[in-house]
Amino acid sequence: MSDMQSTSGAVRLDGKAIAEQVRVELAAEVAEFKAAHPMFRPKLVALQVGERSDSSVYIRQKAKACKEIGVEFEHVQLDNSIQQAELDARVDSINNDPAIHGLLVQLPLPAHLSTRHVVQSIRAEKDVDGFHAENIGWLSKRDGSPYFHPCTPLGCIELLKRYNIAIAGKRAVVIGRSDIVGAPVAMMLTKLDATVTLCHSRTANIEELVRDADILVVAIGQPEFVRADWVKPGAAVVDVGMNAMDDATKKAGFRWVGDVHPGAAAHAGFLTPVPGGVGPMTVAMLLRNVVASAKRHYAAASTVRIVPSVLNLADPVPSDIVIAQAQASALKPIAQLGAELNLAPRELEPHGRHAAKVTLDVLDRLDGIRNGHYVVVTGISPTPLGEGKSTVTVGLAQALYAHLGCAAFACVRQPSQGPTFGIKGGAAGGGYSQVAPMTAMNLHLTGDIHAISAANNLVAAAVDARRFHEATQTDAQLMARLCPPKRGMSQFAAPMLRRLQRLGINKTRPEDLDADEVARFVRLDIDPERIVWRRVLDTNDRFLREITIGEASTERGMSRRTGFDIAVASEIMAVLALTTSLADMRQRLARMVVAMSRAGEPITCDDIGVTGALTVLMKDALSPTLMQTLEGSPVFVHAGPFANIAHGNSSIVADKIALKLVGVPAEPGFVVTEAGFGADIGFEKFVNIKCRASGLVPDVAVIVATVRALKMHGGGPDVVPGKPLADEYTRENLELLERGFANLRRHIENVNKMGLAAIVAINAFATDTQAELELVRALARDAGAYDAIPTHLWAKGGAGAVELAQAVARCCADKSGAEGFRFLYDDNLSIKEKIEAIAKQVYRAASVSYSEEAERKIEQFAANGWSSMPICMAKTQYSFSADPALKGAPEGFDLPIRDIRASLGAGFIYPLCGAMQTLPGLPTRPCFYDIDIDEDTGDIVGLF
């Protein structure tokens, strides 16, 4: 730029022109990056306290500059009286907002606020001014790399570079040692291999040092401090000063001068003008910092950091809890795991050191991100001991993550405390394929099941209380108590207004209702014989299955027969698992049917006015709980509906969040979600209920099988919890195994029927022989499985499922599964047609028979307009039929439907096939005999 030489000889370091050039370059850079990455939205926030006019001018300049290059700008203006704590909260909120890439606080601040504190409160990676101690600290180190360089010093260096002024090996003098300009620019020149002298007001021989400087940067804030004749001939002079000097000839009464006398142009080789030199470069470098920050944030958010935890395998394999305690020191703090997943701090709500709620805000932030691969784990018809679906789900995720280096999430249900203290034990996986810490998962965790219990029992209390009050009060008394006067006026609560609309009463003031409308409004007229809502608890207690309530004299003889269910059988649990948002959950809770009126009308939670309270109780439970496996891969634990009487799958929101989080990398990762019990139950409901509600499409299904279960289906003796296994299960028996394979064959066929590829995971036990494993593998492949692979996840963790993980990855890459995905039946079929589609196509029943009660309810449900809902069959998990003793792959049987019920909140109709137990009992020897605590260490013992 030699053509820009001044009349006095020095080349003008035209900051204004260079700044404009930088802006043009940045605009092109942003546009190009946005074109390649549509989710890229750089954003700068300027926080201003008070209304200083000069500060407002600076902010408007920055806003204009941001707009020119395609950076979103937000001006947050706060009242001058704001207190430190409130200002800190605002800064913290911006720090934790992943959509904001730069934050600057406009200085000066009012005297009652600490500037130092506020500046240091800005996260270093968003400190685009470059003032944070961490950024300055890294700048001071020879090999340090700060997130940002301070803008003005960076502008000075940029000017020198743009004019091809050599820096390395030159003598540089910096006058002024401020933290904003002098000290940082001296450090930057040093890192560029200049020999730097930093001068200040106490430096004795400044003139002598200046005369020897090849590069001179002056930022001392004193008008024309450096005299013209001090400047070395040919030196490059960067004048940062901007001082107002009185000048009566100027309209404003002053003129701007720098820290260097303008006569220096006669000596210098290069010189910045004042104004128009460094000033424009400061804003340009701020923009560069913002764009760099946004790209850095985008790059970080476009990867999932894979940081496996090391397993210390023991042989023989100890108990689950001993393994969990041995691995406890290797567990990651939950904040670290969240950071590896690129979760923003505000999206993570820690519950202790190793668990956290993840808010649904992440779905909004990642709305445009594609999903990762969706893998569902199901199983064959199990023995009462279970066949290890949870273990395979966890172990497969560990293998994908720790051994194949893929982003991988497991999504599992939260276990009920009933089985934990009953006979089955916990449900965190097993052996070296566990969710950790398993004690937290199997006990209270984050309180979701307690919230469900509280919400469920509030509904039960409200139903009986309403029935009592209607029986003991007149219409007028009910109206007066339901709409009490406040400040002299009566008014309807929000749910009351909704009830009036459903009744066709278009009035909004209580006093406007006539007597007939009052009666219709205040009286739900609940039929005590047709109350369908039961109380729940999270304990196996057989003596609460059928009870009588209302026996106290205060209840005036209004006793009735009812009972308790296990908490996870509550419809509210199914609602939690199938909801997609807070608003959706509220609507689902509102339409749950709790009873029928004497006139045969359904009575909902909204009719009894409890919808808002339920939503409040369930608000925190809506967020899935983030945990980890023993090998450090992330896990969502959320919801736990029964698989035989409900749909038996973890939550939609957990799957959706996980799919977005693993969909970020260039090579999308995997979400492994578990469907309860066999493929005839959990998988069928996963497809026809869960996928219908979520809109998600799985890529592949993994069917878990064991040699033990296949032998049982081949005619082996009963498998009874608590009793030793018969010899048939511990010795090689290929004939028995081949006969029992019919059960697995049908499950493979059913998965294929839904348009998915099936991979069989053979969960190998120590007593299985190689010949048995190879037989299952060969038979499964012949039956149409994509592959069949023995796994050793219990003993080896992820290392025992590497081949399975490779098959899953290969199948997803082949896209041989999801392209043909389909539901078993259409929404517009009748209730009976849907039931018979499941019974005949999945179970292979020859016919379906209905009790009189079931027939009556089907007609009633159709009249109510409920026929469009999917079907959730409630039947035994131990057989394709309704008879748990009918093993293998029976066909030609009749499926009896003894009753049928509607879960309008969950959004399905569930027929009951045979007797279904909704509250387990305790066995002779429950698990709680073994559970205790070590008084010295506080460790829990005996929990499996």
Phi, psi (rounded to 5 degrees) for 376: -110, 135
Cα-flanking dihedrals φ and ψ of residue 533, to 5°? -90, 125
Q: Which two tokens stand for residue 796?
A: 């080896």
Strand partners for 560 = 549
The β-bridge partners of 159 are none
Q: Which of 902, 181, 109 is nearest to 532 (CA)?
A: 902
The C-alpha atoms of residue 422 and residue 920 are separated, in whole angstroms, by 9
Q: Is-contact 82 91, C-beta < 8 A?
A: no
List for the chain the helix, strand, coil content (%; round to 5): 40, 15, 40
Say what angle helices 802-814 and 389-398 make with each other, to 10 degrees: 80
Which CA distances in Å does 601 have to 134, 191, 533, 863, 911?
A: 67, 81, 15, 11, 20
Rounded Cα distance, 50 and 59, in Å: 13
Options 16, 34, 43, 62, the catalytic residue: 62
Quote the longest CA-to-CA distance of the chain. Answer: 111
Q: Which residue has the tokens 């200085």?
A: 107
64 is catalytic: no
Q: Read off the tokens for 234.
A: 């040919």
How far, in Å, are 477, 720, 739, 856 from residue 889 at the CA level?
Answer: 62, 21, 10, 32
Cβ-Cβ contacts under 8 Å for 409 (sequence gap 6 or more): 372, 397, 633, 634, 635, 636, 658, 659, 661, 662, 669, 670, 671, 672
Cβ–Cβ < 8 Å for 109, 121: no
Shortest CA distance to 384 belongs to which of 438, 422, 436? 422
Q: Residue 773: which residues within 8 A CB-CB, separation 6 or more?
A: 707, 762, 764, 790
Alpha helices per DSSP H over 148-273 = 151-162, 182-191, 206-211
Cα separation values, 520 from 338, 491, 601, 679, Å: 53, 17, 12, 47
Residues paired with 565 in a beta bridge: 536
The helix (run of H) or strand (run of E) holding residue 30 is helix 15-36
- 3-state SS class at 645: coil
Q: Which residue, among 205, 236, 239, has the nearest Cα to 219 in the 3D structure?
A: 239
**2-8, Cβ contacts within 8 angstroms, sequence gap of 24 or more:** 6/265, 6/271, 8/263, 8/265, 8/266
Of the candidates 789, 701, 704, the one whose C-alpha atom is nearest the C-alpha of residue 753 is 701
CA distance 199 to 183: 10
User: Which candidate, 801, 910, 412, places its Cα nearest to that of 628?
Assistant: 412
Q: Give CA–CA dist 213/203, Å, rounded.
A: 15
Q: How far apart are CA 19 and CA 25, in angstroms?
A: 10
As a whole number of angstroms, the distance between CA 297 and CA 295 comes to: 5
* Residues annotated as catalytic (active site), given as ranges: 62
